[in-house]
C-alpha cells in the first residue's frame, strides 16, 4: 500500500519536475535558445502565416454556409461505404489535404461541436484527414529542400494514398458502437438564412478565430524550436540518436540519419531539413525517411491537434494510431514506387 502511494506521488511530480528542468535549461542555454526562438518566429512569420492563415479564414467562412452539407449529399455514396463516415466528412478530408496541418483536425472538431457528425465519425476523420499540404510537400520539401519537384510530387502521391488507406482501415474504428442520432436538417437550417448584412460580422468572427489558431501554432513552433536547441546543446539529441541506431541497423539505414529522425519526431520541419541535407548516394533513403516523417507529423503537430480537440469529447487515440499507420504505409508506398518505377530512381 505504501509503495502504491509513492507511485501515485511520483506520477504527480513528473510534470512539475520536467517543467522545472525546462525552465532551468532556458536559463543555462539562453544564448542558443534565443537564436532558436528567433528562427522559430521567422519560420512562423515567413512560411506558416502566409500559407495557412488564408485557409483558416476560408474554412471558417465555409462553415457558416451549407457548402459542407451539399458536398456531403454529393459524396455520401463514396464516403459511407469506404470510410464509414457521412458525406460531410469529405469536406474535412479535402480541406485537410489542400491546406495541411492542422486544418483537418480543426474541421473535425468543428463538426463535433456543431453535431454534424457523431463522436465515432469525427474520431475516424481525425485518423486520416489531418495531413501535410501540397504546398509544403512539393514546395518546401521537394523544391526547396531536395531541389527536385519530381521528388515532391512523389511524396505528395504516396502521402495521399497512405491517407486513403488509413481512412479505409479506420472505417472499423468503434464499428459496433451505437452512434448518436444527428439531425442534418437542423444543421442545414442554421446556415441557410445568412443575410448579406451580417457578412461583415461573420468575416470578423472568422478572422478572430483564425488568428487564435495561428497564434497557437506559432507558439508551438517557437517552443519546439527551443526544445530541439536545448537537446542539441546538451547533447541529449546525440544520446537519443544512439538509442535508435540498433533499429536503424535492422532497416539498413545509415547512423547519420538518427538525429534527423529524432528531430523530425519532435518537430517536423527541423527534422526534414536535416534529413534532406544529408549527403547520401542512395537518395532513396532520404526520400523514404522524409515520407515517414511527413506521415507522422511529429510531436509538435500532435499537441496542436490535441489542443484543437480539447474542447470536444473526441479522443486523441485514433489520431495517434492513424499517424503511426500513415507514416509506415507512406514510407512503404514510397519504397515500392522507388523500387518499381525507373522514373523515380534518384540513386547515384
Number of domains in the chain: 1
Q: Secondary structure of the chain: what % helix, strand, coil (to 5)?
A: 80, 0, 20
> What is the gyration radius of the CA atoms in the chain, in angstroms?
21
Secondary structure (DSSP) of 38-93: HHHHHHIIIIIHHHHHHHHHHHHHHTTTTHHHHHHHHHHHHHHHHHSS-TTHHHHH
Residue 7, in any domain of the structure: no
Encode the chain (348 residues) as per-residue pLDDT tens digits: 555 555 555 566 777 888 888 888 888 888 888 888 888 888 788 777 876 788 778 877 877 777 767 777 777 788 888 888 888 888 888 888 887 787 888 888 888 888 888 888 888 988 988 888 888 888 878 888 888 888 999 999 999 999 999 999 988 877 665 555 455 544 444 555 566 667 777 888 888 888 887 888 788 888 888 888 888 888 888 888 888 888 888 888 888 888 889 988 988 887 888 888 887 667 888 999 999 999 998 888 898 888 888 888 888 999 999 999 999 999 999 999 988 887 767 664
Residue 284, in any domain of the structure: yes
Residue 103, in any domain of the structure: yes
Residue 158, in any domain of the structure: yes
Residue 280, in any domain of the structure: yes
Residue 4, in any domain of the structure: no
Residue 11, in any domain of the structure: no
**Host domain of residue 308:** 31-173+183-344
Buried b (16+ CB within 10 A) or exposed e, 110-133: bbbeebbbbbbbbbbbbbbbbbbb
Name the DSSP class of 141. Answer: I
For the entire predicted model, the pTM comes to 0.81
CA angle 177, 182, 183 (to 5 degrees): 165
Residue 143, in any domain of the structure: yes
CA distance 241 to 238: 5
Amino acid at each position: 500500500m505504501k509503495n502504491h502511494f509513492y507511485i501515485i506521488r511520483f506520477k504527480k511530480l513528473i510534470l512539475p519536475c520536467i517543467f522545472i528542468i525546462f525552465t532551468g535549461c532556458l536559463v543555462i542555454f539562453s544564448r542558443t535558445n534565443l537564436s532558436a526562438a528567433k528562427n522559430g518566429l521567422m519560420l512562423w512569420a515567413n512560411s506558416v502565416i502566409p500559407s495557412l492563415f488564408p485557409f483558416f479564414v476560408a474554412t471558417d467562412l465555409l462553415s457558416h454556409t451549407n457548402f459542407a452539407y451539399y458536398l456531403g449529399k454529393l459524396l455520401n455514396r463514396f464516403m459511407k461505404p469506404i470510410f464509414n463516415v457521412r458525406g460531410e466528412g469529405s469536406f474535412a478530408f479535402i480541406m485537410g489535404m489542400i491546406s495541411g496541418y492542422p486544418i483537418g483536425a480543426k474541421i473535425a472538431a468543428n463538426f463535433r461541436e456543431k453535431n454534424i457528425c457523431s463522436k465515432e465519425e469525427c474520431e475516424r476523420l481525425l485518423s486520416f484527414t489531418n495531413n501535410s499540404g501540397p504546398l509544403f510537400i512539393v514546395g518546401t520539401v521537394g523544391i526547396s529542400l531536395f531541389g527536385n519537384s519530381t521528388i515532391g510530387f512523389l511524396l505528395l502521391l504516396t502521402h495521399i494514398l497512405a491517407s486513403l488507406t488509413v481512412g479505409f482501415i479506420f472505417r472499423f474504428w468503434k464499428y459496433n458502437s451505437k452512434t448518436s442520432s444527428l439531425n442534418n436538417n437542423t444543421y442545414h437550417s442554421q446556415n441557410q438564412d445568412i443575410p448579406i448584412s451580417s457578412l461583415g460580422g461573420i468575416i470578423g468572427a472568422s478572422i478572430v478565430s483564425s488568428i487564435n489558431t495561428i497564434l497557437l501554432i506559432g507558439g508551438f513552433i517557437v517552443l519546439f524550436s527551443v526544445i530541439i536547441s536545448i537537446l542539441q546543446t546538451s547533447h541529449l539529441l546525440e544520446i537519443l540518436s544512439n538509442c535508435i541506431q540498433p533499429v536503424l541497423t535492422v532497416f539498413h539505414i545509415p547512423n547519420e540519419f538518427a538525429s534527423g529522425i529524432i528531430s523530425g519526431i519532435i518537430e517536423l520541419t527541423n527534422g526534414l531539413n536535416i534529413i534532406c541535407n544529408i549527403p547520401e548516394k542512395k537518395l532513396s533513403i532520404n526520400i523514404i525517411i522524409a515520407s515517414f516523417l511527413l506521415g507522422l507529423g511529429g510531436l509538435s503537430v500532435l499537441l496542436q491537434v490535441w489542443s484543437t480537440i480539447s474542447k470536444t469529447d473526441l479522443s486523441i487515440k485514433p489520431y495517434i494510431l492513424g499517424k503511426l499507420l500513415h507514416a509506415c504505409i507512406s514510407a512503404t508506398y514510397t519504397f515500392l514506387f522507388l523500387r518499381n518505377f525507373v522514373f523515380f530512381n534518384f540513386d547515384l
